[in-house]
Amino acid sequence: MNESLQHFIDVLLGTMLDVLPIAAILLGFQVFVLRRALKNPKEILTGFFMVLIGLALFLEGLDLALFPIGELMANQLTAPEFLDAQDAHSIEWHHYFWVYLFAASIGFSTTIAEPSLIAPRSIIALAYDSGGVTTSTVTVPLVTALGLGLSSNVPGRNPLMDGFGLIAFASLFPIITVMGYAQLSEWRSRRPPR
Amino acid sequence: MQLFRQLFASLLSSFRDLVPIFVVIAFFQIAVLQQPIPNIGSLLFGSLLVLLGLSLFIEGLNLGLFPLGESMAWNFSRKGSLTWLLLFAFSLGFGTTVAEPALIKIAEEAAQVAAAGGMIDDHAQSMDDYAQGLRYTVALSVGFAIVLGVLRIVKGWPVQYLIIGGYIGVVIMTAFAPKEIIGIAYDSGGVTTSTVTVPLVTALGVGLASSIKGRNPMTDGFGLIAFASLTPMIFVMGYGMLL
């Protein structure tokens, strides 16, 4: 217990260094450039402490839960016993059927869970933005753990070369689908009502 | 008291958002894999920490940093000084990226993988240096991206040509960058644009577009995040080439 408390304090100190720059920037610009007093310093200070503690808790939780779950699922879904294959060399791409299904469902459900997701509207710039928005705090650790776990288990793959890249797809595809969605809704609104 | 009620509401909504993920994982464990989950206690405890941490983090941002950042984005976009605006844009992009939770974790993970793959030395110091270097490279590139995006809004350049040009840059860099960095570089684009960066940067874009005559917040206000997920790819590949 003592050890994990010590670890938490280390993480807390680390997050302080992470959050300080943005706080310093906002305060510095507010006071020295805009020359305005803070409207509600008490709330800002409370908010700042909540951000610190929340970030530290979140990072601890990621180490304890999201990363291990992603790796565990990748391990179990690619185990030769589960794939029903005689040995590692006779596995073909279609043996990984459940991996694809798991990837699809986890991608879908983590994006629903996104705190910063903006509802799609028919604007190009917004479509480009939504690619960046879908891949945030909850999606990234899970998907990364999945990619790293898969690339260390699938024969002939190397985590360094193949483990990363899933997030890139997750930011590319929404650009295409949101623009497609805009096209579709425009086409549907132009079609004469029956 | 008000604060606690808000925190509780946020906790509830975080929980509701995380439920689909739990359902998917539970379904696969029980129905497909049919294997017991090791360390279920620590997994549940960790999930609880994630839930609590995320709620506190987001509520804290809503209470302090977001209103401050948003009002400043508005003030700067109305102040009329392009130099200060660009300086503010850069600092905002840089500062929010350094505080981005997902990036902190991914940089650590990338350092571990790089150490295991023999790309860097396998001790704590060099792994720390690598992770920090990666984060500051990404932060620098996001600062640059927001400056570019603000210039675009001020000048009224169409977003798609800049994006297409940027992706051509990504393709060219990919040809020269070491293979090991490419995946990480591509991913870092998506990782940066997250909980802290998105609301503040969007506020800057929309505030700017609505205070400049002839700009429409809907067509000109968005697009900053798109730059912020593009430039890290180019910069991180550059970082990999320097290393």
Q: What is the mean pLDDT of chain B?
A: 83
The percent of residues above 70 in pLDDT, for chain B, comes to: 98
Instruction: Name residue B223's amino acid.
Output: G
Residue B166 φ then ψ, to 5°: -60, -45
Q: Which of B157, B198, B234 to mutate to test the interface with A (most CBs of A within 10 A)?
A: B198
Three-class DSSP labels, A129-178? HHHHHHCCCCHHHHHHHHHHHHHHHCCCCCHHHHCCCHHHHHHHHHHHHH
Instruction: Please check whether residue A131 touches B, CB under 8 A.
Output: yes
Instruction: Please check whether residue B23 touches A, CB under 8 A.
Output: yes
The percent of residues above 90 in pLDDT, for chain B, comes to: 13
CB spacing of A51 vs B106 below 8 angstroms:
no
Give the SS3 label for residue B44.
helix
Quote the distance between the C-alpha of residue A95 and its chain's center.
27
CB spacing of B46 vs A64 below 8 angstroms:
yes
pLDDT, position A120:
38
Highest mean pLDDT, choosing among A177-186, B74-83, B163-172: B163-172
What are A11-58's pLDDT values in tens digits?
A: 888 888 888 887 888 788 888 877 777 777 888 888 888 888 888 888
Highest mean pLDDT, choosing among A48-62, A129-143, A173-187, B190-204: A48-62
Nearest to B136 by CA among B219, B220, B232: B232
- For B45, counting Cβ atoms within 10 Å of its Cβ (0-12 exposed, 13-18 middle, 19+ buried), the class is middle
Six token digits for residue A116: 């910063």
pLDDT, position A136:
52
pLDDT of A140 > 50? The answer is yes
Instruction: Please check whether residue B165 touches A, CB under 8 A.
Output: no
What are B177-186's pLDDT values in tens digits?
A: 888 888 888 8
How would DSSP label each residue in B162-204?
A: HHHHHHHHHHHHHHHS-HHHHHHHHHHHHHHSSTTHHHHHHHH
pLDDT, position A119:
40
Say how far apart CA A57 and CA B52 lie, in whole Å.
Answer: 7
pLDDT, position B180:
83
Q: Which of A51, A114, A118, A152 to mutate to test the interface with B (most CBs of B within 10 A)?
A: A51
CB spacing of A132 vs B193 below 8 angstroms:
yes
pTM (two decimals): 0.79
pLDDT, position A88:
57
Nearest to A61 by CA among B154, B52, B71: B52
Q: Indicate the residue of B42, B94, B229 with minimum beta-carbon distance to A131.
A: B229
CA atoms within 13 A on the CB side of B38: 7
Helices (DSSP H) in chain B: which residue ranges? 2-27, 40-60, 66-79, 82-98, 101-116, 124-155, 159-176, 179-192, 197-211, 217-220, 224-242
Name the residue of chain A whose CA is nearest to B157's CA: A125
Chain B: closest CA distance from residue A194 (Å): 31
Q: What is the mean pLDDT of chain A?
A: 74
Highest mean pLDDT, choosing among A18-27, A145-154, B105-114, B186-195: B105-114
Helix axes A124-134, B159-176, angle to 10 degrees: 40
Cβ pair A132, B229 in contact under 8 A: yes
Q: What is the mean pLDDT of residues B43-53?
A: 86
Give the SS3 label for residue B101.
helix
